[in-house]
Amino acid sequence: MAASPDKSNQMEKIVSLCKRRGFLFKNSEIYGGLNGFWDYGPLGVELKRNVKAAWWQDMVTSHDDLNKVENAPEPFAMTGIDSTIIMHPQVWKCSGHYDLFHDFMVDCRESNKRYRHDQIVGRWVEAKNQKIFVSAPASENCESDIETKALKFFNIRSKNRDQLAWIGDVVNLTTISESENVLAPDAKNLNTLTEPREFNLMFKTTVGALGNADDFAFLRPETAQGIFVNFKNVIDSTRYRLPLGIAQIGKSFRNEITPRNFTFRSREFEQMEIEFFCHPDESQKWYSYWRDRRLQWYHQMGISDERLIMREHHADELAHYSIGTADIEYAFPFLPSGEYGELEGVAHRGDFDLRSHMEGKLDESSNPLSLELDEHGQPKYRGSGKDLQYRDDLTNEKYTPHVIEPSAGADRAVLAFLCEAYTEDEAPDEKGKMQTRTLMRLHPRIAPIKAAVFPLVKKDGMPEVAKEIYLQLKKDHNVFYDEKGAVGRRYRRQDEAGTPYCITIDGETMENQTVTIRDRDSLEQTRVPVADIGNEIRNRINS
């Protein structure tokens, strides 16, 4: 029986397995690593490629555009593009990222550490006639961290902890009005935090050799804008009609103030985004469709109901142009119990993006902000001036399409799949003794290695037959050959790598041309004729 691992150190175990088995490495590790950047190792690269390939296949290439697919309001088309990371700087002025894409941060003058303002929590406490706000980074253990800090600050032994008089619950630093008497997370003295300051999350770079102020450009913080600016190109170069979804997978960059929680908040990451263009009158129905469809996709890829939620944003959380946004969230093990982290946002963006790229950045009342001038006396937020509207060739109606945007993070999806897959159970070893087994129950479609091929022993013609099967399977799948050590140990190594099937060539194979297939999760072994192995593995992966 699979046991649910102890949540308190589950994340540590996952991080350690990822390094040990080559899923994820700290970037530039030999130089001490660079915060917020992660490298995928030999197993990780296959896993991530499989996640992106499954998304692209399910959303784009295998999409049936001739018939109405399940729960869709009507038939629709899907296609893709691949745009560049560096785009015309005007794109970011009109999209709003240039002015609005920021977080608030605070610096600690004592520890020289920088924190995202909304990621610090704390609690008021009184002791020895002094009332202070003790803070810590938001985490599962923050309440006990806060207590430890308070005891230390007041120089009280833990056995005398009842001398601390707590006032209210743990609250976010952003919610307290007084800035006096705050003990910063890594400080010994009070009042060392600066006032919150805005920090633009876009990485700046220069294009060309001269590096003048005019040559500034940005690394894209999302892939979506590449789709908006190519909307007209896609319509004009194809025979697609609306409703149409345009998909893109690619790198995005955000200079996050406090990258953390493994790859969850990185500074370089990949997104899998769809901009779905439709008639304004139909947009509400499409919004509901995409919310449900995207939630279902994570279920299909193996995420359990208990750990996945859809969170509809409240009206006051919505951007002014947005008619609705829902986040698909996962109960990552590094979060306090009952809390969820965003995997994907599904947003109804109205006509905001296409209109901004036509007319210039829009203000709160959707008027173009064309009056502010740049250093050349040109409107700072000028749009392209191009007509990005759509004309329906059947009805002759011309309109600015509305957009539904399911925007997923490839790295967050990979992290959720890794967390969901991590399992410890009890299984018999070669001698029949029950031992703890660690396995990654990855869905066979995304498992880095689909099957491992083992000769039971390194003699009696078994390696030769095994190598033939291995080379045959390799034409269609990523498979692995291993003849070293006890077969039980070889199974265990594959369990940790998430390999769903192990094929063993034994004495019986030499007599009747059958092999065993061992299932990673059920441990069930079935005999299959050598001639059927290819079909059997293909069917199991796709079932």
Instruction: Identify the residue among 271, 283, 356, 516 touching ligand ATP (CB under 6 A).
Output: 271
CB contact at 8 A, 224 and 274: no
Nearer to ligand ATP, 357 or 412 (CB): 412
CB contact at 8 A, 76 and 245: yes
Q: Which stretch binds ligand ATP (CB under 6 A): 177-185, 381-389, 406-414, 456-464?
A: 406-414
Q: How far is the CB of 222 from ligand ATP (least distance, A)?
A: 6
Binding mask 356-395 for ligand ATP (x = CB under 6 A): ----------------------------------------
Sequential DSSP letters for 153-218:
HHT--GGGGGG-EEEEEEEEGGG----TTEE-TT-SSBS-BPPPEEEE-SPEEE-SSS--GGGEEE
Residue numbers 277-316 binding ligand ATP by CB under 6 A: none
Q: How far is the CB of 411 from ligand ATP (least distance, A)?
A: 5
- Partners of 347 in the β-ladder: 325, 405
Instruction: Identify the residue among 250, 406, 409, 463 touching ligand ATP (CB under 6 A).
Output: 409
Binding mask 81-110 for ligand ATP (x = CB under 6 A): ------------------------------
Binding mask 234-263 for ligand ATP (x = CB under 6 A): --------------------x-x-------
Nearer to ligand ATP, 219 or 517 (CB): 219
Instruction: Identify the residue among 407, 494, 499, 509 touching ligand ATP (CB under 6 A).
Output: 407
Residue 230 is classified by DSSP as T
d(C-alpha 120, C-alpha 312), whole Å: 24
Nearer to ligand ATP, 20 or 320 (CB): 320
Nearer to ligand ATP, 36 or 243 (CB): 36
* Helix, strand, coil share of the chain (percent; to 5): 35, 30, 40
Instruction: Identify the residue among 244, 408, 419, 456 touching ligand ATP (CB under 6 A).
Output: 408
d(C-alpha 230, C-alpha 388), whole Å: 9
Nearer to ligand ATP, 245 or 500 (CB): 245
CB contact at 8 A, 132 and 156: no
CB contact at 8 A, 505 and 466: yes
Q: How far is the CB of 407 from ligand ATP (least distance, A)?
A: 4
Q: Which stretch binds ligand ATP (CB under 6 A): 134-142, 190-198, 312-320, 401-409?
A: 401-409
d(C-alpha 482, C-alpha 495), whole Å: 14
- Told to check if 223 binds ligand ATP by CB under 6 A, we report no
**Cα-based angle 179, 318, 343 (whole degrees, multiple of 5):** 90
Q: How far is the CB of 9 from ligand ATP (least distance, A)?
A: 23
Q: How many beta carbons lie within 10 A of that of residue 483, not counting itself?
A: 17
Nearer to ligand ATP, 136 or 249 (CB): 249
Closest CA to 410 of 268, 220, 305: 268
Sequential DSSP letters for 313-371:
PPGGGS-TT-SEEEEEEE--TTSPTT--EEEEEEEEEETHHHHHHHH--B-TTS-B---
Q: Which stretch binds ligand ATP (CB under 6 A): 41-49, 91-99, 315-323, 405-413?
A: 405-413
Nearer to ligand ATP, 408 or 469 (CB): 408
Q: How far is the CB of 502 from ligand ATP (least distance, A)?
A: 33
d(C-alpha 270, C-alpha 251), whole Å: 4
Q: How far is the CB of 287 from ligand ATP (least distance, A)?
A: 15
Reported in sequence order, the residue ranges of 396-494 that DSSP labels E, i.e. its strands, are 398-399, 402-409, 422-428, 434-440, 451-455, 479-481
Q: Residue 377 has which token pair? A: 């006396």
Instruction: Identify the residue among 55, 115, 269, 297 touching ligand ATP (CB under 6 A).
Output: 269
d(C-alpha 527, C-alpha 518), whole Å: 9
The closest residue (CB) to ligand ATP is 409
Instruction: Identify the residue among 46, 147, 329, 411 touching ligand ATP (CB under 6 A).
Output: 411
Nearer to ligand ATP, 269 or 501 (CB): 269
Nearer to ligand ATP, 118 or 460 (CB): 118
d(C-alpha 253, C-alpha 259), whole Å: 12
CB contact at 8 A, 41 and 24: yes
- Told to check if 265 binds ligand ATP by CB under 6 A, we report yes
Closest CA to 309 of 286, 327, 334: 327
- Told to check if 266 binds ligand ATP by CB under 6 A, we report yes
Nearer to ligand ATP, 86 or 100 (CB): 100
CB contact at 8 A, 36 and 265: yes
Nearer to ligand ATP, 192 or 263 (CB): 263
Residue numbers 324-363 binding ligand ATP by CB under 6 A: 342-345
Q: How many beta carbons lie within 10 A of that of residue 370, not counting itself?
A: 15
Nearer to ligand ATP, 343 or 404 (CB): 343
- How far, CA to CA in Å, does 124 sit from each of 142, 175, 178? 14, 12, 11
| Site for ligand ATP, rule CB under 6 A | 222, 254, 256, 265-266, 269, 271, 342-345, 407-409, 411-412
